[in-house]
A = this chain, B = another copy of it.
Amino acid sequence: MEHTVIFQPSGRRGSVAEGKTLLEAARELGVDIEAPCGGARVCGKCKIKVEEGVFQKAAIDSRVTHLSPLMEEEKAFLKAQELADNYRLCCCAGVRGDVLVFVPEESRGAKQVILETGRERIFELNPAARNYYLEMDPATLDDQTDDYARLQAGLAAKYGLPVDLRIDYTVLQSLPVAVRSEQWKVTVTVWEGKEIIKVTPGHWDELWGIAIDVGTTTVVAYLCNLKTGEVPHTTSLMNPQIRYGEDVLSRITYGMMNEDGLEKLSMAIIDGVNTLVERLTEMAGITRVDVVDMVLVLNTVMHHILLRIDPKFMGRAPFAPVFKTSMNFKARDLGIQIGKGAFVHTLPVAAGFVGPDNMGVLIAEEPHKQDRMMLIIDIGTNGEINFGNRERLLCTSCATGPALEGAQIKFGMRAAPGAIERVKIAPGDKEPKIKIIGQDDWYETGDEPIARGICGSGIIDVIAEMFKAGIISSSGRFNKEASASRVRRGADGKMEYVLCYAGDSSIGQDITVTQKDVHAVLLAKAALYVGARYLMQKLGVSKPASVTLAGAFGSYINKESAMVMGMFPDCDFDHVQAVGNAAGDGAKLALLSLAKRQEAREVAGFVEFVETATESDFLEQFIAAMAFPHSKDRFPSIQHILENIP
């Protein structure tokens, strides 16, 4: 006997044989319901609400009778209110008549999830790694089926996975003990529906991944809960390769000049990744082997070096990378110590130095889905600039140097406790106000002196504020007439600004901003500005509809400071947005959603790389862009600020 079953909100319907559970019915009708235990009635995830038990109007009141009676497990998992509202577990409720059920958001297999960063990023949670709970019949003398085949058959029958599902070699090695530890009950972690990458004895309800943004200067790692899309822990460190060179070209050179240069560079960053993995797993109270997936974003040179692929041919014409496509590597092949069978996914390279990190920015910001012409700048030691919309999208890269990440700055540091991240300077007495990472409010004399240095966002702030306060001129030179005790000659006889006196710092000396620091920041911002101008010219656009500022800063960059500095062509203030580490967000999205990995592959084929450094007037443009904006015509949006500069 068959009954009609309808699932809402998808509206999928069909005939289902009497006695089948709603979970079986859902599978038959292609409705994706969250049931990590596979219907073993141990997880309580497959809640649905019975809307109608029959479709003849007269019989609506008898709706609950169209399903089998409530089971003990349902009473245990469902709250009183849920029971009153006719909630059931799909794995328990057997079909005995026509039913219409509603699948609430949290019970849907593919969920819309919001990534909680500076801006809302809504995506479908569909990670590469998924857990499947399985109870198998034990091996007997009459059934000597081998462990692997038993596992494959169980997964195929219960979850429709391929009968010839692959298994990682290291998982095979642990298989006999794993299946027997909990009486043939296991949780199987499967990668992309293709390969068994972990077998955990018993019912195991956790699923962890790590997304890492490997910057030239800063490396940031995010621990992601692949079941919920949450990102409970984040940590970062200085790229350990920095001792071999501060920018990508110097590292390429180091790799070429030293016999084992590439190996050393690669080992340095792999060690760094392993340190981050260790920290994150400690924070979460889990172990390395609980991490079953990883996504890396990085620029193309970092990408090649981390994979121990010689980047030297990228450093000279014709600059061809060794590979551009997205790729899955076994973590163990790379020396990354996470789950033994786990994969590491790298996003695709767009071109030349525009690497997987920019692909991360693009899948996070999605300019290829917009009508408006977006300018997206990812600020780092290597800056990436994107301009365009769904019609056409251009990208380029520029060597900004590490100044904006706190390196090559006298008191620069990465965004970590003790870093000055916000600065305001009073135009009159030139006295600063500072905000320090690790302290909730702005610093007041008398607070615990914890300032150790200045991170990227603080550097951009202080330079912009020094300009606004008349401490430096539009050319970036110290204004010798600026009469304030904090504007002084340093021990080297050169001008400097004291941002924080020794007494207010934890390092026992004054934290200052030097002429050299100002120069380094202006070089960086000029490179970004010029790159953006070229892309806009190429598309014949004089003003972007919006500007997005991304970068692995501690807090978000102050967009006013960036505008005052002239880091990018003029745009309405309201349409400038600082979004934090968009590349890192892209890495998280790719970790949490296979659709985002696919999107990255598609965008990699869509975005066009533009070589800007070879333009004939590049140097001229670059030098012109070094100054602070003084033309109100070119920067009408910040006219009110420019007017007030002494």
Chain A positions near chain B (C-beta within 8 angstroms): 139-141, 143-149, 167, 169-170, 172-173, 175-177, 180, 307-310, 312-313, 317-325, 329-330, 333, 349, 351-352
- By a CB distance below 8 angstroms, the chain B residues around A175 are 309, 322-323
Q: Is the pair A310, B177 in contact by a Cβ cutoff of 8 Å?
A: yes
In the assembled complex, the Cα of A34 lies from the Cα of B308 at a distance in Å of 36
Cα distance A139–B314 when bound, in Å? 11
Q: Which residues on B sit within 8 Å (CB–CB) of A176?
A: 309-310, 312-313, 322
Asked whether, in the complex, the Cβ of A173 is within 8 Å of the Cβ of B309, the reply is: yes
| Nearest B residue to A170, CB-CB | B333
Q: Are B320 and A172 in contact (CB under 8 A)?
A: no
Closest to A164 in B: B325
Chain B residues, CB < 8 A from A145? 320
The 3 lowest CB-CB distance pairs between A and B, nearest first, are: A148-B323, A139-B320, A146-B324
Query: For A148, what are the chain B residues with a Cβ–Cβ distance below 8 Å?
Result: 322-325
CA distance in complex: A147, B177 (Å): 43
Main secondary structure of the interface of A (DSSP, over half): loop
Is the pair B349, A146 in contact by a Cβ cutoff of 8 Å?
Answer: yes
- A-B contacts, 8 of them at CB < 8 A, read A145-B320, A147-B320, A148-B324, A149-B325, A169-B329, A173-B308, A173-B309, A176-B312
Task: Verify A318–B140 contact, CB threshold 8 A.
Answer: yes
Name which of A172, A175, A320 has the most chain B CB atoms within 10 A of its CB: A320
Distance (Å) between the CB of A290 and the closest chain B CB? 22
Say whether B146 contacts A321, CB under 8 Å.
Answer: yes
Q: Which of B172, B321, B329, B351 is the one whose CB lies under 8 Å from A309?
A: B172
Q: How many angstroms from the CA of A209 to the CA of B11 in the assembled complex?
A: 57
Nearest CB in chain B to that of A139: its residue: B320
Max chain B Cβ within 10 angstroms of own Cβ: one of A141, A169, A325: A169
B residues less than 8 Å from A321 (CB atoms): 144, 146-147
A144 and chain B: residue at smallest CB distance = B320
User: In the docked arrangement, what's the CA distance between A144 and B307, Å?
Assistant: 20
A622 to B175, CA, bound (A): 37
4 extra A-B contacts, CB within 8 A, seeds A176-B312, A176-B313: A144-B352, A149-B324, A172-B307, A175-B323
Residues of B within 8 A of A144 (CB): 318-321, 351-352
A146 touching B323 in the complex, CB below 8 Å, given contacts A169-B329, A333-B169 = yes
A172 to B325, CA, bound (A): 12
Q: Given contacts A175-B309, A309-B176, is CB(A322)–CB(B169) below 8 Å?
A: no
Taken together as a complex, chains A and B put the C-alpha atoms of A172 and B321 apart, in Å, by 11
In the bound complex, CA of A144 to CA of B319 (Å): 7
Smallest Cβ distance from A501 to chain B, in angstroms? 52
Interfacial chain B residues near A319, Cβ < 8 Å:
141, 144
User: In the complex, which residue of chain B has the Cβ closest to the Cβ of A611?
Assistant: B141
**Least Cβ distance of A439 to chain B in Å?**
46
Cα A44 to Cα B196 in complex, Å, equals: 46
Rounded to whole angstroms, the CA-CA distance of A180 and B312 in the bound complex is 12
Which B residues lie within 8 Å of A177 (CB)? 310
Residues of B within 8 A of A143 (CB): 318
Query: What residues of chain B lie closer than 8 Å to A309, measured between beta carbons?
Result: 172-173, 175-176
Q: Whole-angstrom distance between the alpha carbons of A180 and B322 in the complex? A: 11
Complex partner residue of A322 from B146, B170, B308, B329, CB under 8 angstroms? B146
A141: which B residues are within 8 A, CB to CB? 317-319
Question: Whole-angstrom distance between the alpha carbons of A333 and B170 in the complex?
Answer: 9
Chain B residues closer than 8 Å to A180, beta-carbon distance? 313
Distance (Å) between the CB of A606 and the closest chain B CB?
Answer: 16
Nearest-CB residue, chain B, relative to A309 = B173
CA distance A172 to B144 in the complex (A): 41
**Chain B residue at smallest Cβ distance from A351:** B144
Bound CA span A352–B333, Å: 33
Chain B CB within 10 Å, residue with most, of A307, A312, A324 = A324
B residues less than 8 Å from A323 (CB atoms): 146-149, 167, 172, 175
A572 to chain B, nearest CB (A): 36
When distances are taken between beta carbons in the complex, the residues of chain B under 8 Å from A330 are 169
Q: A140: nearest residue on chain B (CB-CB)?
A: B318
From A313, A317, A323, A329, residue with most partner B Cβ within 10 Å: A323
Residue of B nearest to A329 (CB): B169
Tell me, in angstroms, the Cα distance from A221 to B205 when the chains sit together.
47
Tell me which residues across on chain B come within 8 A of A167, comparing CB atoms. Answer: 323
Find chain B residues with CB under 8 A from A146 CB.
320-325, 349
A175 to B307, CA, bound (A): 12
Contacts of A308 in B (CB 8 A): 173
Closest CB in chain B relative to A208 CB, distance in Å? 24
Query: In angstroms, how far is the closest chain B Cβ from the Cβ of A475?
Result: 36
Complex Cα distance, B177 from A312, in Å, reads: 10
